[in-house]
Amino acid sequence: MINLAELRRTAARRITEPLKTVLVKSRLKPNTLTWLALAISIIAAGAIATNHPLIGGFLVLLSGLFDIMDGALARLTNQATRFGALLDSTFDRISDAVLLLGLLILYIISGGTIEMVLIFLALVGSFLTSYVRARAEGIGINCPVGLFTRAERVIILALGLLLNPLYEFSILIALLLVVVLGFFTVGQRLIYVWQQTKSQ
């Protein structure tokens, strides 16, 4: 069976490997990269809200890259802390909300009712995906399963934005995927935790 968590770690290593030397020489703190990732997400949301999907898509990917690099830098320089992990997770949730807010503003202006509903569902799904795992760990159960995590959400959303100048329904399709796969992952994690606890 394919280990998705291991695949994600491998992909992250391959992305950050060429940047290791630059990261170390930069003397940046991991938390600085975390803040930069959030700042770029806010700028991306502004670009999306003002109907600049190409710029927004590029910035979403750039924010995702910084989000990967902060953890890589922390491990590489032995600066990993529990607070850093908490800050990273917190800012990830804020970034998710901010990006979807940018889309919501865009569709409030253009009157896209279906898209607005999907944005709400995408926000609920993205928060529940993280919450179920965190709550499981809070009751002492490791929850390593999950088909569709934040990494996949970022990539799908960025692709929807980048392709929008070529295909007008690309954002709608991206939102549909985020909603369907997000709630699938919520169910997947709930079932996993239930299986782990049903004998208790």
- Hey, which residues are catalytic here? 92
**What's the rounded Cα separation, in Å, for the pair 162 and 165?**
7
**What's the rounded Cα separation, in Å, for the pair 102 and 25?**
35
User: DSSP E strands: which ranges in 56-104?
Assistant: none
**What's the rounded Cα separation, in Å, for the pair 104 and 112?**
9
Torsion (CA) 175, 180, 183, 188 in degrees, nearest 10: -140
**What's the rounded Cα separation, in Å, for the pair 107 and 99?**
13
Residues with Cβ < 8 Å from 88, sequence gap 6 or more? 34, 67, 70, 71
Residues with Cβ < 8 Å from 148, sequence gap 6 or more? 129, 178, 181, 182, 184, 185
| Radius of gyration for the chain, computed over Cα atoms and rounded to the nearest angstrom | 17
**What's the rounded Cα separation, in Å, for the pair 18 and 111?**
44
